[in-house]
Homo-oligomer: A and B are copies of this chain.
């Protein structure tokens, strides 16, 4: 399994085979980003060849603009702009921001393998902005092209259906998890658990990952103050559920964490 080669670096990594360690070293010096496996990407059904009759067509080349680079801090798109593309994150992470009442609010984060703006397939305008939390690579599909092809080829229509309904399931799960938490500690715990589950979905370790956003972003997203976020991280650490070292997260006791939050995802 290539699994451990996609874990984020963290504290002591004793569970790697020497071979894997070496393969990481090769690419470790700055360089090559940690691209998500295409198989784990939510867009993959639309990135693989389609059989029509006797022929096999590869729409990938036509539709997908692959691994478009954006610099850390760069805006991928802005609220109100015409929404013509669907994005999938190939490497890196970003935050979604709603601009309201002359202030901004973080409304979500996206990690490798996840999609942005699948909703409104029938175009429209972006309901929020997207900003890179680090240097990132995005794959892009034009909505119009996609809809055209889908309406002509049932197989593509079916795959699009798969993508959209998977998205629906994921959003629903997330919102179930994030909702109705009694206190802030539960809220934070749910947040971490949610990320863990999503990293797992993208083929990464669900136990160790990096929080690429700032504490302030997290606070903003959860409707807490940044000081509370910090104190609650500490509390969860004292409970021996999670270990925090700077931006690195290490879930020590997943089961306890799940019991604490009250919902089992992983």
> What is A's interface to B at a CB cutoff of 8 Å?
98, 100-101, 103, 105-108, 118-122, 127-128, 151, 154, 157-158, 160-161, 164-165, 167-169, 171-176, 178-183, 220-223, 259, 262-263
Could you tell me if A175 and B175 are in contact, using CB atoms closer than 8 angstroms?
yes
Assess the B223–A176 pair: CB atoms within 8 A.
Answer: no
In the complex, what residue of chain B is closest to A179 when comparing beta carbons?
Answer: B107
Q: How many copies of this chain?
A: 2
Given A158-B157, A161-B157, do A168 and B119 touch, yes or no (CB 8 Å)? yes
Q: Is the CB of B161 within 8 A of A119?
A: no
A/B interface sample: 23 pairs, CB < 8 A: A100-B262, A101-B262, A103-B262, A105-B180, A106-B180, A107-B180, A119-B165, A119-B172, A120-B165, A122-B165, A127-B172, A127-B176, A154-B157, A157-B157, A161-B161, A161-B164, A168-B168, A171-B171, A171-B172, A174-B175, A179-B221, A180-B222, A181-B223
- Tell whether, in the assembled complex, residue A169 and residue B120 are in contact, meaning their CB atoms are under 8 Å apart: yes
Closest Cβ of chain B to A94, distance in Å, is 16
Chain B: CB-nearest residue to A124: B169
**In the bound complex, what is the Cα–Cα distance between A221 and B128 (angstroms)?**
26
**Set of chain B residues within 8 Å of A119, measured between Cβ atoms:** 165, 168-169, 172
CA A160 to CA B165, docked complex, whole Å:
10
For residue A6, give the distance in angstroms from its CB to the closest CB of chain B: 27
A180 to B106, CA, bound (A): 8
User: How far, in Å, is A195 (CB) from chain B's closest CB?
Assistant: 15
Name the distance in Å between A25's Cβ and chain B's nearest Cβ: 41
CA distance A161 to B157 in the complex (A): 8
Interchain nearest-CB distance for A213 vs B (Å):
13
Q: How far is the CA of A262 from the CA of B100 in the complex (A)?
A: 6
Cβ A165 vs Cβ B121 within 8 A: yes
Q: Determine how close the nearest CB of chain B comes to the CB of A87; give it in whole angstroms.
A: 15
Set of chain B residues within 8 Å of A173, measured between Cβ atoms = 127
Q: Which residues of B contact A171 (CB under 8 A)?
A: 168, 171-172, 175
User: Contacting A100 at CB < 8 Å: which of B98, B127, B263?
Assistant: B263
Question: For the complex, what is the distance from the CA of A107 to the CA of B164, rounded to whole Å?
Answer: 22
Chain B nearest Cβ from A7, distance in angstroms: 29
Bound Cα distance from A121 to B263, whole angstroms: 22
Contacts of A108 in B (CB 8 A): 179
Residues of B contacting A176 with CB < 8 Å? 98, 107, 127-128
